Structure 1
């Protein structure tokens, strides 16, 4: 039986972790203990029933939103995550949890899994449970090298996910974008890179994020896009990107030099993957999500309730 002090500590730690978005390391530092102690407390809080985790909000509203979006965009599945009252980081984490749960439960027939890059996919990998999936091979579907923001790159995400699954993975030893077409041609024709790209084309499931190049763009933040790139993308009609490939309002890949300089699968190749799971939150990406759905790039959409409501209303 827990005494009052133990119970109080569990509640305090659980509140910081689940509601305030603190990391286990931050909580450990605040309480003057090691991170494993916090991990044990969080597990104990679940066992004691102090914390109950619901990955998917089963309220009538979210279920109705899911069904409407599945019908509207002819999707295999939509998962709407209730994020009301959460800080942005916590909302992303909730989405990551739901996506991780969906992927873990749908891998039975899957032997190869493709992964793109970005902050949302990082939260999926971070929330992914440790399990034994040694029959699965993970493949990055877009390049990603360099010394900045390495934790967001597809190679790093593939490596971490493979560790959590106890699976194998490939590495795409190439940057996501190169300076010119000539360099790109030389790189994509090298044996190692050509082999990994071919593996990527043949994955049975892929996990992708969606970007809006003009609002809170990770590509701009990490230096892939300059001010003049944004101007010319706007001129060319770009509204969003998947795996660093830009598309217009009806989902067509735009004719733009930046699209030609990407080392990774193009949008048609992504569309040919049997199951593509798009994980995206934030109504500022509404136009990007809509265009991707019109383009038919996603089979499964995992998003927040606010964005889902806006998609239904549009």
Structure 2
């Protein structure tokens, strides 16, 4: 009995030694290949193994977790966050890209992601309704010439008469149309007018109702989500006064969607401003064939959540920072 027990223990020790030897060999091969950038043939000569044997050892090292490969390109997508966002909010699609270590104020990383999304879906988007703003300007800037052919671009809400940055609605629509070898239909009216009567008069003009109806029929709508605050284009342009901004914040507004200010549950934050807002309505966004919202950064988490929970977009393009804040809310 004693002899048998000694033989068993000896066998276990031998197996452990073999495992250690194997692990050491896998580590040795992996370090030479991935850290020293040596070829499989060169490593094989040193270790007296064939190149094909080295290849199998590298595969084994990856399977054992000794080697872990990560994609670290700035536009590499965070698929686990995309899945979580789709599941939680019932999104048709979600694109989440990494947040740069030093994010630029214009959120160029999500602008590039949105441009990539448009290019990938160009065959199913022959007409595109667009809003405007810094993020849309970024998208328009990075869309390459020839990203599609014959695109019909429609401006879906009024613009602003002045801005500290070149973010006019006409520039955005025409730039996207030009790069897509298409044409733009503009809506040359203010986003928010001073009087309700002015809006009513505009809506009696045939061209306004025609442009808006064309926007409703578009294959997709593309717009950004704006955080509430003095730095927003609507405030800086004078479309929303400082007094109105204070009132919106007091009423619980968390941002704007196509110039419509909403609260956390997606309802209108201020009925007076809403009655003077020109463009597609919130219900139009909910009824769109494909409503693509683009927003990034922790400061956009509240408006992103509000838009998602109230069904204002079916596609979200965002970054890791914003997505994590939304999911943790």
Provide TM-score, normalisation by structure 1.
Answer: 0.77
Q: How does 1:267-278 map to 2 (within 5 A)?
A: 267-278=282-293
Contact 2:131 2:222 in 1 (8 A): yes
Give the corresponding residue for 2:83: 67
Whether the aligned pair in 1 keeps the contact of 2:74 and 2:100 (CA below 8 Å) is no
TM-superposed CA distance for 1:289, in Å, is: 0.8
Contact 2:161–2:237 (Cα < 8 Å) also in 1: no
1:300 corresponds, among 299, 311, 315, to 315
CA distance in 1, matches of 2:100, 2:165: 31
Deviation at 1:208, TM superposition (A): 0.7
1:77 aligns with 2:93: yes
Gaps of 5+ in 2: 1-71
Return the TM-score normalized by structure 2.
0.74
> Residues of 2 paired with 1:261 and 1:106: CA distance?
34
2:257 alignment counterpart: 242
**1:312 corresponds to 2:307:** no
Root-mean-square deviation (CA, aligned residues, Å) is: 2.0
3-state secondary structure, aligned to 2:215: helix
Contact 1:117-1:153 within 8 A present in 2 as well: yes
Q: Does 1:117 align with 2:132?
A: yes
> Once the two structures are superposed, what CA deviation does each residue of 1:125-163 show, in whole Å capped at 9, x if it has no partner?
111111163432100001115244573122220011111
Which is worse superposed, 204-213 or 140-149?
A: 140-149
Change (3 A) 1:196 1:81: same
Distance 1:147 1:230 in 2: 18
- Report how many residues are paired: 259
**CA-to-aligned-CA distance 1:64-113 (integer Å, 9 cap, x gap):** 11111110111111111112313324x71111111100011112122210
Cα deviations across residues 194-246 of structure 1 (Å, max 9, x unaligned)? 21111111111011101122363222122222221012212333212111011
Contact map agreement 1:278 1:302 (CA 8 A) in 2? yes
1:259 Cα deviation from its structure 2 partner: 1.0
Aligned residue number for residue 278 of structure 2:
263
* 2: CA distance, partners of 1:124 / 1:79: 15
- For the pair 1:153 / 2:168, whether they are aligned, the reply is yes
* Aligned counterparts of 2:136 and 2:265: Cα–Cα separation in 1: 24
Distance 1:212 1:145, change over 3 A: closer
Structure 1 residues 273 and 149, CA gap change in structure 2 (3 angstroms): farther
Aligned pairs for 1:125-144 (under 5 A) are 125-131=140-146, 133-144=148-159
Contact 2:298 2:325 (C-alpha < 8 Å) held by counterparts: yes
Does the CA-based 8 Å contact 1:145-1:153 persist in structure 2?
yes
**What's the counterpart of residue 106 of structure 1?**
121
Please list every run of 5 or more consecutive structure 1 residues that lacks an aligned counterpart in the other structure: 1-52
1:238-273 deviations in whole A, cap 9, x for unaligned? 212111011111112334211111111111111111
| C-alpha contact 1:139 1:171 (8 A) present in aligned 2 | yes
Three-state SS of the structure 1 residue aligned to 2:153 is: strand
The counterpart of 1:171, out of the listed 158, 169, 186, is 186
- Judge conservation of contact 2:93–2:314 (CA < 8 Å) in 1: yes
User: Could you tell me which of 203, 225, 238 is aligned with 1:188?
Assistant: 203
SS in 2 for 1:306: helix
